[in-house]
Structure 1
Amino acid sequence: MELKPEQLVAQLRTGGFRPAFLIAGPEPLRVLEAADAVRVAARQEGFTEREVYDAEGQREPDWSAMAASFRAPSLFASRRLIELRLATGKPGKEGAQVITEFCEDPPSDVSLLVTAGDWSRQHGGKWSEAIARIGHVAVAWAVKPHELTGWIEQRLRTKGLKADHAAVQILTDRVEGNLLAAAQEIDKLTLLAEEGEVLDAARMESLVADAARFDVFRVIDAAMNGQSAQVARMLANLRAEGEAVPALLGMVIMELQRGAALARVTERGGNLAAEFKAQRVWETKQPMYKRALQRHGAARWDVFVAEAGRVDRIAKGRPRIGVEPVDPWLALERLLLAVADGKAVPLLGTP
C-alpha cells in the first residue's frame, strides 16, 4: 500500500521498521523528513552502519558493489542501512534486478532505503513492487494549492502551536506553496510565540513580517524548480516594494555560476556529490539543482551567466540600444523564466 510520507513517519514511531523502504516524489522536504525518520528508526533498531550509493545524472552507481555489499557480513557484527539515491527514480535494468533480488531474500542485518526526487505512476515496476511486499513505499506528491492550508495547520499542531484560520491563511499566502519556506517560518514561530498562545491574524502578521517580502532567494528557488508563474509573481512583488535590480543580481549571478559549475561536472561524469559539497549546496536544496540540471546543459548555463552580465549592464544604464530592452526588470524576468523553462521564454541573445 502506498503511504504518504507523514503516514510512514507515524508508523515508524510505533515500531513499523521494515527491511526495505522506497520514498520518492517531487516534494523534497517531505522526502527528506521521511528519509530522516527511517534513519532514526534504523539507529534505534541497531543499524549503526550506513552505506550510500548515489545515482548522479546519467551516471549509475556500482550495482555490482551494491549487490556484493548486500551479501557481505557487517563489520563488527553490526547491522547496516544501505541507501540508494535515485535522482530520476529509475534504477535501470541492472539496478532493478539488484533491488528485486535483495527483496526476495533480505539479510536480517541489512535494510535498504531508496529515495528518489522524481516520481510518477510510470516510474514503478517489479523492483518497487518488491519493496512494497517486504517494506513500505511512500510517495511525496506535490502539495496542491488547496491542500496547503491543511498541511500548514497540521505542521503547526505537530510543533505544538495553535492558530486560528485567518492566521493560517496569512502564513499560507506568505510562503507561496514553498514547503521548505513554510517549515522554516513555523520553526521560527515556535521560538517567538508565547506558550499556550493562540495566534490570530494580527499576531501572525507581526511574527512573520519578514516573510511578507518575496526575497531573491525564493525567486531563484522558483526558477530552479521550474515554477515560471511564481517567478513572474515574485519579481512583480519585489518591484512593487521598491527593490533595485542591482541589489538582486549578486545572488542571481552566484547561483547561476553554481549551476554552471555543477552542469560541467555532470556532463563529464564527475562526482556531483563532491561538487555539491564544494559549492556548499545543502542536501535539502540538491533536488532543486538536479531538476534544473536536467533541463539545461553546461552550455546553456554559461549563456545564463552571460545574460546576467547583460542584465547588470542594463540595470546600470548601459544597454545596447536596439538589442536589449531598457527595462532591467523585464530583462531579469526573461532571464529567470528561461532558467525555469528554456523552451517557453527566448533569451535576449548571445553576448
Structure 2
Amino acid sequence: MRIYPNQLERHIQQPLPNVIMVFGDEPYQVQQALDTLRQVAKQQGCEERIRWTHDNQFNWQLLMDEAQALSLFAMRKLIELEMPTAKPGRDGSKMLQQWCALPDNEHILLLWGGKLGQEQTKSKWFKEVDKHAWFIPVYDVEKDKLPNWLRQQCQQQGLNITANAIELLAHLFEGNLLSAAQEITRLSLLYPNQPIDVVEIEQVVSDQSRFTVFQLVDDLLLGNFDRASHVLQRLQGEELEPVIIAWALQKEAEILAQLVAAQQAGQSIDALFKSLRIWQQKQGLYRQAMQRLNSQSIEIILSSLAHFDLSYKTNGLKHPYTMLAHCCALFTGDPRLQSLTKTMVA
C-alpha cells in the first residue's frame, strides 16, 4: 500500500504491517515519518529496537536469525535496516521475500533510505515486498504546495496564522523544511494563543540577525538606496556568503522581468502576483520598482549578476561585495550606470 507522509497519521490508527518502507530525498519528512513509526511501533508492543545499515558486507542471514530468535526483553521487535542504495542484491532480495512469507511473524521490518528510482521500484524484490508492505515515498514539497504544508504544520502547533504570514514563511523557507518547522515551533512559543501576521514573522526573522538579505532586497525594490547600502555593509561585516546575496538579487530581478513583461503585454499584474504567490504587503514594493526599471534595465541587472556568478565561482573575487554593491546600484535605474555596466560585462 502506498501512503504519503500527509496520510500517515490516519493510517497509524490501525496495526502496523510486518514491513514498512520509507524512501525519499527530503530529509526532514523522512525523519518525521521514521520518528512517528518508531513511536507507534513501541505503542503496539515493539519494546526492542534493532538497527542495521546495509553495505556490501552486510550479512542478510542476521535478518532471519533475529526474526526467529527469542528476546529477553520483548515479544515483538522493530528491526530497522537503512538501505542507502536500495539495492539488496541477490541474497538480500531472497531474504526479504522470505521475511514476507514467514508464518506468525509478529516483528516489524522498517526499511528506509534515499529516493527510489525506476530501477528499484521495478525490481523483483520491491514488487514482492510491496504486496505486503506500506510504502511511504517522500518527495520534496513543491513550491505551489508549500503553503498548504506550512498551514498543516501550523495547525498541528495550534497557531492562529494569517494567509499572508503563510506566504511569507513559504518565501523565506522554500527548500528548507527543517528550518521552516523549527521556525513554526519558535512562533508557537513566542505567540501562544495570539494571531500571527506578517509583522510578527518579520520581527522573528529579523531577530535572528542584525540585518538580513531580505531587508536588503526590500530596500532595493522600495528605492531606499542609502539604507540598502548600509544593510549591505553590515551583511559584509557578518561575513554572509556573497552567493546568497547574488541569488536573492537574481530572484527579485527575475520576478520584476516577468511583471514588466506582463505589463507591456497588457496582462493583469494582480493575476501574476497571485500566480507568483507574492504576498500583498510586498506587491507595493514591486510596483514602485517597476516605475524605475524597464525590461532593458532589468536585463542589465541579470547580466551583471551572471557576470558576478561566473567570476566568483571560476576565478574568485578579492572584493566580491564591491561588485555586489554595483549590482545593487543598478536597481536605481540610472542610465549612466547601465551604460557603464554594458561595457563591463560585454
Normalising by structure 2, we get a TM-score of 0.60
Note if 1:3 corresponds to 2:6: no
What is residue 242 of structure 1 aligned with on the other side? 234
How far apart, CA to CA, are the structure 2 residues paired with 1:157 and 1:243? 34
- Residue 287 of structure 1 is matched in structure 2 by none
Does the CA contact (< 8 Å) of 1:148 and 1:177 recur in 2?
Answer: no
Q: Which residue of 1 aligns with 2:283?
A: none
Contact preservation (8 Å) 1:22, 1:131: no
Q: Deviations over 1:298-326 (max 9, x none)?
A: xxxxxxxxxxxxxxxxxxxxxxxxx8642
Distance 1:241-1:23 versus aligned 2 partners, 3 A rule = farther
Q: What SS does structure 2 have at the residue aligned with 1:37? A: helix
1:195-220: CA deviation from partner (whole Å, max 9, x where unpaired) = 1x22122122223334589989xxxx
Q: Tell me, in whole angstroms, the C-alpha distance in 1 between the residues paired with 2:191 and 2:76.
A: 42
Classify the secondary structure of the residue corresponding to 1:109: coil
Match of 1:182 in 2: 180
Partner of 1:87: 84
User: Are positions 1:131 and 2:129 aligned together?
Assistant: yes
| Contact kept? 1:9, 1:34, Cα under 8 Å | no
Give the superposition deviation at 1:30: 0.9
Counterpart contact for 1:81–1:110, Cα < 8 Å: yes
Alpha-carbon distance change, 21 to 167 in structure 1, aligned in 2, over 3 angstroms: same
1:169 alignment partner, one of 167, 171, 175: 167
Letter in 2 for 1:186: I
| Percent pairwise identity | 30
Equivalent-residue separation in structure 1 for 2:237 and 2:101 (angstroms): 58
Q: How big is the alpha-carbon RMSD for the aligned residues of Structure 1 and Structure 2?
A: 2.9
Q: Which structure is larger by alpha-carbon Rg, 1 or 2?
A: 2
Alignment-derived partner of residue 197 in structure 2? 200
Q: 1:214 to 1:132 in 2, by over 3 A?
A: farther
- Going from structure 1 to structure 2, the CA distance change for 1:126 and 1:213 (only over 3 Å counts) comes to farther
- Residue 61 of structure 1 corresponds to 58
Deviation at 1:11, TM superposition (A): 1.1
How many Å separate the matches in 2 of 1:76 and 1:135? 26
Counterpart CA distance in 2 for 1:212 and 1:246 is 9
Residues 23, 30 of structure 2: 8 Å contact kept: yes
* Corresponding position: 1:326 with 2:321: no
CA contact (8 A) 1:20 1:103 kept: yes
C-alpha separation between the residues in 1 aligned to 2:212 and 2:19? 40
Q: Which residue of 1 aligns with 2:95?
A: 98
Q: 1:271-282 maps to which residues of 2 (within 5 A)? A: none
What is the CA–CA distance in structure 1 between the aligned matches of 2:183 and 2:233, rounded to whole Å?
21
Distance in 1 between residues matched to 2:212 and 2:200, nearest whole Å: 22
Residue 329 of structure 1, CA deviation:
6.5
Instruction: Give yes or no for contact 1:47–1:79 (8 Å, CA) kept in 2.
Output: yes
Taking structure 1 as the reference length, what is the TM-score of the superposition? 0.59
Listed as ranges, the gaps of 5+ residues in structure 2 are: 214-230, 242-314, 323-346
Contact 1:100 1:126 in 2 (8 A): no
Q: Is the 8 A contact 1:20 1:136 kept in 2?
A: yes
Change (3 A) 1:68 1:243: same
1:206-263 Cα shifts (integer Å, max 9, x gaps): 23334589989xxxxxxxxxxxxxxxxxxxxxx94633489469xxxxxxxxxxxxxx
Distance change >3 Å, CA 132–CA 241, structure 1 → 2:
farther
2:187 aligned partner, one-letter code:
L
- Hey, what's the Cα distance between the residues in 2 that align with 1:137 and 1:244? 47
CA distance in 1 between counterparts of 2:316 and 2:18 reads 59
Query: Number of paired residues?
Result: 232
| 1:264-303 alignment runs, 5 A limit | none
Deviations 1:121-164 (A, max 9, x none): 33223333333322311101111111111110111111111211
Structure 2 matches for 1:39-50, cutoff 5 A?
A: 39-50=38-49
